[in-house]
Chain A
Amino acid sequence: MPGACASTSQTVGPFFHLGLTAVDLSNLAGPNVKGEHITLEGHVLDGDRVPVPDALIEVWQANSHGKYAHEADCQRKPLDAHFRGYGRTATLADGSFRFRTIRPGQVPGTNGALQAPHIEVCVFMRGLLKQLVTRVYFENDPANANDYVLRLIEPARRNTLVARAEGENVYRWNILLQGEDETVFFDV
């Protein structure tokens, strides 16, 4: 049916674990994956600052060289046979989530400039009729200052996308659905 528009989104509902998290995909990087191994963890909180115990979080990222394991990435950079760059997990009863992965390299953005290292994030949950899309950047990365996407965000809100370094190789990043420090979500 040419010309038809994309199908309508519907909520993932409260029982998605049955279909989507039967296999644990929270560890993106086994021991053979090259790069700086990190833990990305945080909580999902609703408008009353109540933990969300039934959110599904998906992540997508480049490898440590800044190359996506996808045919549309024709950069002359090496792939890592052990790294797909995709993960997903459900929040626990306390609203927490945790991924083990590697810090991604820089990928091209607009006008030939490189983007700061980032992980793309998709959030689904009961109560959300379509996914929320956002990104995680890394605290103290000098490339953040010139990142085209971060600069599209009003300065006071940019920090909502920056994971804090907390201990060795641990980054903490919370997803706040509402409130003064509501996480920035993207229209993609």
Chain B
Amino acid sequence: MGASNNSEESPRLNVTGYRRLRAGTQPEYSHAAYASSCKRCPTHPLVAIPHTLTEVTGPEFTMDDISGNGCDLTRAGTGHPLGEKIIVSGRVLDEDGRPVRKALVEVWQANSAGRYMHERDQHQAPLDPNFTGRGQTLTDGEGNYRFVSIKPGAYPWRNHPNAWRPAHIHFSLFGSAFVTRLVTQMYFPGDPLLPFDPIYNCTADEEARKRLISIFDWETTIPETALGYRFDIILRGRDATPMEL
């Protein structure tokens, strides 16, 4: 095999990297107010590497990858889950405002009582047999996604005395490259627990933090049925100029 004379096999590749994340808009690994970070954060500085073909590629997904009840989390059981039905929708865009198409969006969340259907969740709140709290979808050609769900409840955790997580939905996103991978959480407007939550507050930049809070949305609210919340997500954008590899 001609693995060593690759230049004969293939033309020179132009790889366009992705923009580095802006200082302050992402959390640091070490965050003293979040106790679990202390023994799990790296202590050496990260080593900066260029974006090669490895970094600018990533898995591509199709509808075949969508399992379970897809984008409707209220259809997990035989009956209706308890709680306030909601529509969570938005767009996945890059930093230049371009839609990210066919992005895999995965969500998981607690039920309306603040309990996850997970063996390690020991909160005394009741489970709901009609709600597993798992959803998956792909964005459409305009970067739109939409989930039907139940508003999750707040729940206690042991980070500090009388610690409560504000209501949130976990989001996982794959964009067009492995370096655009994002896991985040969506919060609800007006939640009184937000100022006290070390996870929400882990990012220095206030504007960046606020964008984790969804916006109540009349346009997607369905009369007699469900309140709409809008949550747009921005993935890293590309560098202006390609690098020749």
Contact = CB atoms under 8 A, between A and B. Distances in A.
Nearest to B121: A15
Contacts of A172: none
A62 B52 CA distance: 12
A7 B60 contact: no
Given A20-B172, A75-B10, A132-B42, A7 B233 contact: yes
B6 A106 contact: yes
Contact of B170 (A16, A50, A110): A16
B59 A22 contact: no
Interface in B118-154: 118, 120-121, 132-136
A187 B236 contact: no
Given A108-B52, A185-B47, A19 B181 contact: no
Q: Is the interface of B mostly helix, strand, loop or mixed?
A: loop
Interface string B1-35: 00110110111110100001110011111010010
A6 B106 contact: no
A127 B34 contact: yes
Interface SS majority for chain A = loop
A20 B106 contact: yes
A18 interface: yes
Contact of B108 (A15, A72, A118): A15
Given A9-B184, A188-B55, A128 B29 contact: yes
Contacts of A149: 49, 52
Interface in B35-72: 36-44, 46-60, 67-68
Given A1-B232, A7-B184, A8-B203, A19 B170 contact: yes
A131 B37 contact: no
Contact of B172 (A19, A62, A86): A19
19 contacts: A6-B95, A6-B234, A7-B208, A7-B211, A10-B200, A10-B212, A18-B132, A46-B40, A60-B59, A71-B60, A72-B177, A106-B6, A108-B53, A111-B245, A127-B41, A152-B48, A153-B47, A178-B39, A182-B43
Interface of B: 3-4, 6-7, 9-13, 15, 20-22, 25-29, 31, 34, 36-44, 46-60, 67-68, 93, 95-97, 106-108, 116-118, 120-121, 132-136, 170, 172, 176-185, 199-200, 202-203, 205, 208-209, 211-212, 232-237, 243, 245
